[in-house]
Amino acid sequence: MLKTQERVLSHGYRKLLKLKTSVIIIISKYLREKSTLAPPPVRQPRLGPGPGEESNICCPVCCDIYRDPVLLSCSHSLCKACWQRCKTVKSNPECPICRRSCSSDDPPQNLALRNVCEAFSQGSGERLSAAPSELCSLHAEKLQLFCVQDQQPVCLICQFSRWHTNHKNLKQARLAALRDEKRQKNQNLRKKREAVNREKTTITNIISSTEAEMTAADVLFLQNYPGSAARVQLPGSAGHTPELQEIYYITVSCTQSMFSFNTPQTGLSETG
């Protein structure tokens, strides 16, 4: 009896171990498949300047937005007026940031920085009336450009940041697209005008050949026919059939078309 119970327990333990092993294999296989089908998301690099980089458009001397910024020989920038004051303080002017000696000659203007500062000053009033979705989340400036490489809207300050350096913005792309569209429309207009001219030439040739086949008496008859028919009151005469009236109207219409077709038409013109 005891041996029988031991055999039953041993058999049950083996089945339990086998079941546990199967469960572990199934779970491992599921985890491998899940990691293959849904890899962990890759962290995207931040495409905008840091929150503290707005201070890059402020002069370190007057702590205001740069006005006519100049580029010193040490690569630092100052307002032109601030640099003039620094020159008057010392005979050998030096950069107030790195304390390196700089030439007393007038330094060149920092045009790129000046453009950014002017755009910032001009857009500060516009951003107050713009909707939140139309403002840059980093600079609170109006999103006036679209970075083609990064496929995201940017403001005028973002385009000069290191994240969008040498990137093509939408203004350049839009100008190229407008030029292509203008060229395509001009080509389509030229093709349509050529088709109309071909049709007009074909109809003119048909009329010319028809007139050539007609005798002088036929032409004289067609020219005088409307007046003659009116004199005999052909359309309103009760003694004539509807077929004759229909022939009359068709003849008048054809005569008017033949003598008015060659009138110059100025309906199409090409622009650009």
CATH classification at residue 95: 3.30.40.10
Confirm whether 185 is domain-assigned: no
Confirm whether 60 is domain-assigned: yes
CA atoms within 13 A on the CB side of 249: 6
Comparing 30-44, 155-169, 179-193, 214-228, which segment has the lowest mean pLDDT? Answer: 30-44
d(CA 39, CA 53): 34
Give the pLDDT score at 247.
65
Number of structural domains (the chain) is 2
Give the pLDDT score at 8.
47
| pLDDT value at 64 more than 50 | yes
| Top-confidence residue, 102 or 172 | 102
- Which of 109, 140, 173 is the last residue in one of the domains? 109
| Top-confidence residue, 5 or 135 | 135
Confirm whether 47 is domain-assigned: no
- Which of 109, 129, 154 is the last residue in one of the domains? 109
- Which of 62, 79, 109 is the last residue in one of the domains? 109
Give the pLDDT score at 197.
87
Interval 208-217 mean pLDDT: 67
The whole-chain average pLDDT of the chain stands at 66
Asked whether the beta carbons of 112 and 22 are under 8 A apart, the reply is: no
- Nearest Cα to 123, choosing from 143, 94, 108, 103? 143
Give the pLDDT score at 90.
74
Confirm whether 104 is domain-assigned: yes
d(CA 23, CA 249): 97
Confirm whether 138 is domain-assigned: no
Task: Give pLDDT tens digits for 216-257.
Answer: 666 666 666 666 555 555 444 444 556 556 666 666 666 665
Confirm whether 248 is domain-assigned: yes
Identify the domain containing residue 94 by its residue range.
54-109
Residues above pLDDT 70, as percent of the chain: 40
Interval 173-202 mean pLDDT: 81
d(CA 220, CA 182): 51
Confirm whether 197 is domain-assigned: no
Give the pLDDT score at 167.
56
